[in-house]
Amino acid sequence: MKVSVRVPATSANLGPGFDCFGLALPVYNTITIEELVDPNEEIQINVFSDEFDVTEFHIPTDKTNIVYSAVDLLFTYIGQSPQSMRINIYSDIPLASGFGSSAAVIAGGLIATNELLGSPADTDTLIAIGTEIEGHPDNLAAAVLGGFVLSSQESDGSVTTRKIPWPEEWKITMCHPDFELPTKISRSVLPEMVSLKDAAYNARRTAMMVDAIINKDETLFKLAMQDKLHQPYRTKLVPGLDEIIKNLHHKDNVLGTALSGAGPGIIVVTKDANTDEIRNIVADTWARYSVNVSTKTVNVEADGAKIL
């Protein structure tokens, strides 16, 4: 028996919502889990992509692979030993780009395995198990649920999520530069402590952002999509980030620009899909840093992971 699950890309944080906000986007990974007939057979993990050369990323194909680690945790949760299995990962989401490729494969592996096992775990539990591997719930929650999702991991490991309808007319321009930035490195530059002033700045903006999305308040959203907790520290890893944010800030069409998750990708939220000028500004600014970028303007993906 085998099960395939299609999972969307995600953009986390949206500026102020560090480790809390996530937004699903219409680029997908598909994960297939197949039970192997011989229970003594070694696990098999294969990674395929039409978009990039997977061999460049040295993705582990043994039990250290993150999908296997997540699946193993699920088996532990239900009190069973992992079975022999083949894991096939078809990846269209670029790796180490800030668009949630690891969350997508973890979510896909967990949902597919859960289905094969007769659904012993509910959605919240799957998100909590995946968060144990990811370290933060924001990408995972949006990948599983779709749309705009806020999430919080509690000290007992449980994860609370809420999905809030995203205004249909607000589009996202995904900007994917031609360099990678592993999340581990991007998190290593963040401070252990921040000032009360900066914490309060972000607390105000996360609250504003939720209200702005619910009420489709463009003025409030523009004020909200700013951050002092992570982007300022990550700028040194993403040359041109500050300049791109500044160059787009006063454009009429733009509601906000932010590092996508841990970067190096950037997202621009606009009032409509007329984004030629915006995409040119991003490309021209990054060109000054010898960075090439591919950009595309999309609708938010309202649906989360789907069993195929």
Query: Could you list the residues that contact ligand HSE (CB under 6 A)?
Result: 12-13, 18-19, 136, 138-139, 183, 186-187, 230, 261-262
Start-to-end Cα distance in the chain: 14
Least distance CB 167 / ligand HSE (angstroms): 23
Closer CB to ligand HSE, residue 15 or residue 167?
A: 15
Q: Considering the complex, what minimum distance in angstroms separates the CB of residue 150 from ligand HSE? A: 12
Distance CA 24, CA 9 (A): 6
Strands 159-164 and 44-48: unpaired
| Min CB(183)–ligand HSE separation in Å | 5
Indicate the residue among 18 and 166 with the shorter CB distance to ligand HSE: 18
Is 192 an annotated catalytic residue?
no
Catalytic residue among 131, 161, 183, 275: 183
**In whole angstroms, what is the distance from residue 35 CA to residue 3 CA?**
9
Smallest distance from ligand HSE to CB 274, Å? 28
Cβ nearer to ligand HSE, comparing 185 with 302: 185
Q: Identify whether the C-beta of residue 153 lies closer than 8 Å to the C-beta of residue 130.
A: no
Q: Which of 134, 161, 275, 301 is catalytic?
A: 134
Beta carbon nearer to ligand HSE, 13 or 114:
13
Q: Is 180 a catalytic residue?
A: no
By beta-carbon proximity to ligand HSE, the closer residue of 5 and 104 is 104
46: nearest Cα among 103, 8, 85: 85
- Nearest approach in angstroms of CB 119 to ligand HSE is 28
Helix axes 138-145, 101-116, angle to 10 degrees: 50
Nearest residue (beta carbon) to ligand HSE: 261
- C-beta of 13: minimal distance to ligand HSE in Å? 5
Pick between residue 206 and residue 275 the one whose CB is nearest to ligand HSE: 206
Supply the residues annotated as catalytic: 134, 183
